[in-house]
Structure 1
Amino acid sequence: MNLSQYTKEFSYNIKLAYPVILGMLGHTLIGIVDNFMVGKLGSTELAAVSLGNSFIFIALSLGIGFSTAITPLVSEANAEQNEKKIRTTFHHGLLLCTILGIVLFILTVLSKQLMYLMHQPKEVADMAAPYIDWVAFSLIPVIIYQGYKQFADGLAETKYSMYAIFMANVVHIFFNYMLIYGIWIFPKLGILGAALGTVISRIMMVVFMDLLMRHNKAFESYFKNFSFKEIRKSILEKIINLGLPSAMQMLFEVTLFTAAIWLSGSLGKNNQAANQIALILASSTFMVAMGLSVTAMIRVSHTKGMNDYKSLIVVARSIFLLAIILETFFAAIFVLFHNFLPHLFLNMNDSAQILDNTEIIIITSKLLLVAAVFQISDGIQVVVLGALRGLQDVKIPMYITFVAYWVIGFPISYYLGKYTSLQAVGIWIGLLAGLSAAALFLYIRFARLTRKLVLENYK
């Protein structure tokens, strides 16, 4: 096969992916705004929000992972031009997302006691507890929103979630500013104001998404005459069987990175600060790979619905190739500017911080060299995972990701971070090992599965 077969797919892949990428950056912006506005209140408040969000992030990863089951089912039904199947999947998926949002809210509120068992500073944990209560409540609307988003993605309508998130960000910035600092008629609530700003913006995100879709002719028929009488146990089970392994895949990766943050914290504040800076930069470029992963899921499931497995392989490989090209470009930026990028996150004019800042820059610049390589591994594993979800193959990839991150990656991170002079760099070498193992084994799984499907269907 010549290269042009893959590159001619690039423009459509980018057209589908860019709204997803911008939407994910919109999600990230909510966290950045919280950190920026709360940071002005003091270091204890910032630490409390950071600690609280680590709990929310784990719950959110489960909700997002589970909701991805809706996309391949809708996309496959769309390829079959089966409106009834599309509508049924949407209604059952939305019901399950609502139930899961409520369950995750309750579990997150109950789990906040773990902060005290983790030996976090008492004043930070005491401040984080009411923050967690409120932001945990926002899990309900945000996971309902995911139900809408994954449905729209399945119909290859990726722009609506981007519009909803941008509008939610405007609401978030307004209420955060008013409620954190007590502007105009609003009370001064500090970090609770940030929590309420998040809750209000996430409720509005669902409202915006519902209004945008309900009043669009492409979606109109799917919003009429919902009835609980239509709910079928067999369809609920089908979504759960796809959703649960996908939720666990995401959980394994998120908890690995959370463990890296806690490991870095145990090495001292400068290692933790360096880890945070490198993680922000790596996460920003990872959003591009995540957008391509959703594109892989949409396009692979759609081609599967048409039973065209030879085209499916071409489409999937075109997305893998695009991810490798883009992540290699980001890797080159990290290598070229590894000494400069850390300066963007530090106050270089504060003479009292000169020693700390110098050490943070040295550590971060080394982490960015490791991150340059793991950009590529991370990009490959997430797009291949998207393609496998499109094939509705989720159980074996769940085991692969567990082994890659927790049997290979974490032990290397722990040993090199705690017992060698590499410290934070050692932790990131462990992350690189885990992501590279995941990329390799997931690609082997995809290649074997598609080869088998081609042999079965083209005898």
Structure 2
Amino acid sequence: MYHAETWSEKTGLLFKILWPILVTQLGLYAMNLTDIIMSGWVSKEDLAGVAIGSSLWMPIITGINGILLAVTPIVSQMIGSGKRNGIAKFISQALYVSLIVALTVIIVGSFLFKPVIGLMGLEDKVAHIAFYYLIALLFGIVPLFASNVLRYFFDAQGFTRISMFITLLAVPFNVLLNYVFIFGKFGVPAYGGIGSGYATAITYWLIFIISVVMTFKVSAVRSYRLFIEWAAPSLKVWKEILTIGIPIGLGIFFEVSIFSVVTLLMGLLFDTGTIASHQIALSFSSLVFMVPLSISMALTIVVGYSVGSGKMKAARQYSLLGVGGGVGLMGLSAFVLFFLREPIAYLYTQDSDVAKLAAQFLIFAIFYQISDAAQASLLGVLRGYKDVQKPFLIAFVSYWIVGLPSGYLLAVYTDMNAYGFWAGIIIGLTFAAVGFLLRLMRVQKGLQGGNGSNVIESV
């Protein structure tokens, strides 16, 4: 990491940090996408079961794991303020927290997955596949959370290519395992869609092992002596991580879980074909969302580094670059998606009725991508400032007080039917984008001329 002076240098640094993050995010999402697509090759029921299981899983790995995202702004500000000596001890504490969080998810998930799926009124085969897909994934949640701590540790220092390298190694391995466990190859029974859960869990272990190896092999991080010198558990540091991480995690959970609730409501109101079509559109639009999400993560790094160094003007300039770039790219993406929506739908299924309905859902995805890009990039900037409490409240109101009720009313009481839920999502995302923008303006105004990173929570 270094301090770029001109707009051109800042653009170059942001892009240098951004593109490996984007490759990493696309790779990680490719594993989820592979689960759904390859399960769809077995049957429509396997597609629906894995899609529903995935829709419940995503709030876990993005929302609850969001607690660990606190590592990025904390480490980036430590680096910016010259406090590198405390980073290794902090990462030890973050790994302790990741283990506690993972074990909590395993225990709670084991008891709640079945009753939640039961509320959806699914066909027996679809419900069976969804439940055991989730159980299979739980075998990999400990290494998943631990490897994410290491990823955020690498990324916060600008070493985003390390995470990219690890992911590029893991994705082909995941595809091969899916082939083996879904279709029953090399003496392994054919588990169908459930097998994709086992394949992904094993891949999570591979990612963790490679991540640990990289802490010893890469000279830039070897000096921290991670996994050699362990700090004793510290409740004080855990509190710092959770104080920042829990609002981040809940904010992400409120956004991601709205899609899960929409899928659950669709299961109660519409048939399996509609659920599968909705999930296809959601799956692909979520893939496209990896672009603004990556921009958001890159912004957290560069803004946090600038704020930690007391360079508030640079932090504002990065904000303009990232938010403007994210919205612009999603505008271009929406234009392309409009013309390719049907071919994209057929990538997921050979059922023409499901594909045509999915193409209609993708039209709504076109409209919400712009607001989604704006809210994601703005939120990344706010995290760089370690401003997390107010954005958490904005997210809750936007998605659960405004977006979800609007979608339900439009779906049930108008002729929009299932499309009404997507209209509600658009409304919620737009509300969030406006709220985050107003919050960022207040934060930046309050810190104008300031030089500290720990005053944010009082703004």
- Structure 2 length as normaliser, TM-score? 0.90
Matched with 2:289 is 286
- Cα separation, 1, equivalents of 2:266 and 2:205: 34
Q: After TM superposition, give the deviation of residue 209 of structure 1 in Å.
A: 1.2
Cα pair distance change 1:268/1:129, threshold 3 Å: closer
SS of the residue corresponding to residue 451 of structure 1 reads: helix
Q: Any stretches of 5+ residues in structure 2 without a counterpart?
A: 453-459
**1:428-451 alpha-carbon deviations (Å, 9 max, x no partner):** 111111000100110110111111
SS of the residue corresponding to residue 448 of structure 2 reads: helix
SS of the residue corresponding to residue 206 of structure 2 reads: helix
Q: How does 1:287-302 map to 2 (within 5 A)?
A: 287-302=290-305
Matched with 1:243 is 245
Cα pair distance change 1:402/1:224, threshold 3 Å: closer
1:324 aligns with 2:327: yes
SS of the residue corresponding to residue 379 of structure 2 reads: helix
1:308 aligns with 2:302: no
- Cα separation, 2, equivalents of 1:232 and 1:259: 37
**1:239-277 alpha-carbon deviations (Å, 9 max, x no partner):** 110011111001101111112223344233443343223
Q: After TM superposition, give the deviation of residue 171 of structure 1 in Å.
A: 2.2
Matched with 2:59 is 58
Matched with 2:443 is 449
- Cα separation, 2, equivalents of 1:196 and 1:160: 25
Matched with 1:275 is 278
Q: How does 1:36-435 map to 2 (within 5 A)?
A: 36-114=37-115, 115-224=117-226, 226=228, 230-265=232-267, 266-338=269-341, 341-347=344-350, 356=353, 361=356, 363-435=357-429
SS of the residue corresponding to residue 412 of structure 2 reads: helix
Cα pair distance change 1:49/1:418, threshold 3 Å: same
Q: After TM superposition, give the deviation of residue 346 of structure 1 in Å.
A: 4.6
1:134–1:195 Cα contact (<8 Å) kept: yes
Q: After TM superposition, give the deviation of residue 77 of structure 1 in Å.
A: 1.0
- Cα separation, 2, equivalents of 1:441 and 1:178: 47
1:16 aligns with 2:17: yes
**1:97-122 alpha-carbon deviations (Å, 9 max, x no partner):** 12211111221111122222332223
- Cα separation, 1, equivalents of 2:369 and 2:8: 21
2:96–2:233 Cα contact (<8 Å) kept: no
Cα pair distance change 1:251/1:220, threshold 3 Å: same
RMSD over aligned CA atoms reads: 2.3
SS of the residue corresponding to residue 210 of structure 2 reads: helix
**1:298-328 alpha-carbon deviations (Å, 9 max, x no partner):** 0110001110111111111111111121111
**1:217-237 alpha-carbon deviations (Å, 9 max, x no partner):** 111122257555543222111
SS of the residue corresponding to residue 289 of structure 2 reads: helix
- Cα separation, 2, equivalents of 1:304 and 1:247: 22
Q: After TM superposition, give the deviation of residue 167 of structure 1 in Å.
A: 1.5
- Partner AA of 1:138 in structure 2: G
Cα pair distance change 1:290/1:434, threshold 3 Å: same
**1:123-168 alpha-carbon deviations (Å, 9 max, x no partner):** 3333443332221121111111111111111111111112212222
1:26–1:166 Cα contact (<8 Å) kept: yes
- Cα separation, 2, equivalents of 1:103 and 1:403: 27
Cα pair distance change 1:130/1:328, threshold 3 Å: closer
Aligned length: 446
Matched with 1:350 is none
- Partner AA of 1:435 in structure 2: L
Q: After TM superposition, give the deviation of residue 455 of structure 1 in Å.
A: 4.6
Which region of structure 1 is more displaced relative to structure 2, 172-181 or 445-454? 172-181
Q: After TM superposition, give the deviation of residue 385 of structure 1 in Å.
A: 0.6
- Cα separation, 1, equivalents of 2:40 and 2:340: 26
- Cα separation, 2, equivalents of 1:160 and 1:81: 22
1:98–1:140 Cα contact (<8 Å) kept: yes
- Cα separation, 2, equivalents of 1:41 and 1:340: 20
Which region of structure 1 is more displaced relative to structure 2, 25-34 or 150-159? 25-34
1:109–1:132 Cα contact (<8 Å) kept: no
- Partner AA of 1:57 in structure 2: M
- Partner AA of 1:440 in structure 2: V
Q: Any stretches of 5+ residues in structure 1 without a counterpart?
A: 348-352
- Cα separation, 2, equivalents of 1:43 and 1:276: 12
Cα pair distance change 1:375/1:337, threshold 3 Å: same
Equivalent pairs: percent with the same residue? 25
Cα pair distance change 1:240/1:179, threshold 3 Å: same
Cα pair distance change 1:324/1:421, threshold 3 Å: same
Matched with 2:31 is 30
2:251–2:396 Cα contact (<8 Å) kept: yes
**1:387-408 alpha-carbon deviations (Å, 9 max, x no partner):** 1111111111000000011111
1:338–1:365 Cα contact (<8 Å) kept: yes
Cα pair distance change 1:379/1:225, threshold 3 Å: closer
Q: After TM superposition, give the deviation of residue 367 of structure 1 in Å.
A: 3.5
- Cα separation, 1, equivalents of 2:130 and 2:276: 20
1:47–1:124 Cα contact (<8 Å) kept: yes
